[in-house]
């Protein structure tokens, strides 16, 4: 029989919702292991999970929206196109390869379509698994109702008006400012009330910065700690990652260390990250590829960077469309393949970043200094 532990845990809404965001299937599968282990240690009475009504309400309210946002973001990835007419003076380098380029792009789009469809299918399967586990975990949790004490709402609202933590940062921006909400303030007031004269320690798991002290994700906000210690209450700790907490609690690597570190150190689970029009961010997130040169052809739905070819074999996106083609300077006849490919990428990135004008950029032969473009 496992030894019972005198410990509580409270998992914030954003942690539950993170299982419906964008990430690689491998990362999601690893993080689901944390949910499975959490369920197991609750069943074995090693830990008591608290579920404030506010968290349950927020989860129900936002879950559908989060899933829809994720699917919509995946659908934003567009096909690669062949914009020969947009290349300007660069056009002559492509004309003799136009048909081969068209065929290559067709193959790329077929592979891209298969990759995205495979991801969507696997993602939906993992979402169903995570959703089922979360519901089972919440059923086993100890609920904390708001109805018992209406003064909880009054104190939370007063905290909100004063601007005291923990304030929920909503990603929607209004008049260039983040909107502050008092959902976390309600949760905090419920915990303050619950742990009056309680002996069992508690860990709060949240990736909301309003709980931290100077962005230290393992240190509770100083004002919150002062409030907590103002009465007879047990030790309180804070963690930003459920996977990290589970590994720490079990003293085992239930979730891979690399996945844990990523979960701890990036704010990747908000509703607007990456943004709807950020195809690079979306594709980078679901493939785990962070090198911009490997994914640039998918941004904006065209392929001005003719020197870059997304090779979707084994999801490795770093080879080149004209990897078998060679370019010679018309003047000295020396090889300038490397320079042409680098120029193509530069043209594309300048265009996409707004640095431009991309069609007036010049390229000179490094051997004879003859103007190529």
Q: Which two tokens stand for residue 131?
A: 């959703």
The domain spans of the chain are 7-75+139-265, 84-118+274-360
Helices vs strands, H then E, count in the chain: 12, 9
The span from the CA of 34 to the CA of 265, in Å, is 17
DSSP 335: B
Longest dimension (CA), the chain: 86
Q: What pLDDT is stored for residue 283 in this prediction?
A: 63
Closest among 255, 365, 338, 371 to 19, alpha carbons compared: 255
CA angle 115, 118, 124 (to 5 degrees): 135
Per-residue pLDDT of the chain (373 residues; tens, 9 = 90+): 556 667 999 999 999 999 998 888 899 999 999 999 999 999 999 999 999 999 999 999 999 999 998 888 888 776 655 544 444 444 444 555 566 666 766 777 777 788 788 888 999 999 999 999 999 999 999 999 987 677 898 999 999 888 899 976 554 434 444 345 788 999 999 999 999 988 899 999 998 888 988 878 899 999 999 999 988 899 999 999 999 999 999 999 999 999 999 888 755 444 344 554 455 566 667 766 554 444 444 433 333 333 333 332 222 222 333 333 567 788 888 888 777 766 665 554 444 333 344 444 577 888 888 887 6
**Would you list the DSSP string of 116-134?**
HHHHHHHHHHHHHHHHHHH
- Chain length of the chain: 373
Neighbours of 235 (CB within 10 A): 11
Q: What's residue 316's pLDDT?
A: 28
Q: What is the pLDDT of residue 234?
A: 94
pLDDT of amino acid 254: 97
Q: How far apart are CA 358 and CA 365, in angstroms?
A: 19
d(CA 85, CA 276): 27
Confidence at residue 92, expressed as pLDDT on a 0 to 100 scale: 45
Euclidean distance between CA atoms 169 and 178, whole angstroms: 6
- The reported pLDDT for the residue numbered 192 is 95
Fold of 7-75+139-265: Rossmann fold (3.40.50)
Write out the H or E segment, with its range, that includes residue 244: helix 242-250
Alpha-carbon span 301 to 212, nearest angstrom: 40
H helices present in 75-221, as ranges: 92-95, 98-140, 151-162, 183-194
| Per-residue pLDDT at 181 | 73
Q: What's phi and psi for 44, nearest 5 deg?
A: -85, 5
Two tokens, residue 331 = 């003047």
- List 364's β-bridge partners, or say none: 371
């Amino acid at each position: 029989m496992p030894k019972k532990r005198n410990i509580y845990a409270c998992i914030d809404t954003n942690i539950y919702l993170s299982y419906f965001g964008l990430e690689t299937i491998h990362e999601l599968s690893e993080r689901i292991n944390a949910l499975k282990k959490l369920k197991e240690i609750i069943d074995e009475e090693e830990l008591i999970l608290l579920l404030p009504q506010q968290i349950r309400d927020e989860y129900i309210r936002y879950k559908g929206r989060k899933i829809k946002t994720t699917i919509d973001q995946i659908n934003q990835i567009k096909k690669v196109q062949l914009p020969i007419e947009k290349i300007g003076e660069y056009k002559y380098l492509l004309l003799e390869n136009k048909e081969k380029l068209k065929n290559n792009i067709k193959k790329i789009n077929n592979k891209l379509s298969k990759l995205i469809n495979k991801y969507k299918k696997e993602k939906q399967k993992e979402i169903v698994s995570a959703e089922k586990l979360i519901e089972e975990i919440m059923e086993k949790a100890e609920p904390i109702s708001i109805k018992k004490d209406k003064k909880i709402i009054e104190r939370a609202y007063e905290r909100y008006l004063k601007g005291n933590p923990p304030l929920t940062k909503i990603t929607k921006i209004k008049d260039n400012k983040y909107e502050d909400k008092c959902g976390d303030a309600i949760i905090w007031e419920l915990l303050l009330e619950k742990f009056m004269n309680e002996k069992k320690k508690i860990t709060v798991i949240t990736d909301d910065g309003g709980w931290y002290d100077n962005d230290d994700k393992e240190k509770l906000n100083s004002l919150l700690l002062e409030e907590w210690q103002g009465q007879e209450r047990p030790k309180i700790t804070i963690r930003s990652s459920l996977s990290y907490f589970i590994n720490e609690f079990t003293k085992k690597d239930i979730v891979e260390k690399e996945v844990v570190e990523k979960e701890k150190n990036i704010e990747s689970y908000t509703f607007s990250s990456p943004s709807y029009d950020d195809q690079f961010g979306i594709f980078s997130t679901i493939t785990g590829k962070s090198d911009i040169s490997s994914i640039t052809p998918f941004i904006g739905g065209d392929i001005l960077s003719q020197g870059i070819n997304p090779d979707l074999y084994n999801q490795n996106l770093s080879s080149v469309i004209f990897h078998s083609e060679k370019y010679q300077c018309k003047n000295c006849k020396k090889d300038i393949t490397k320079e042409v490919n680098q120029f193509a990428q530069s043209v594309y990135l300048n265009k996409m970043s707004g640095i431009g004008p991309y069609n007036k950029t010049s390229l000179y032969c490094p051997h004879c200094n003859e103007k190529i473009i």
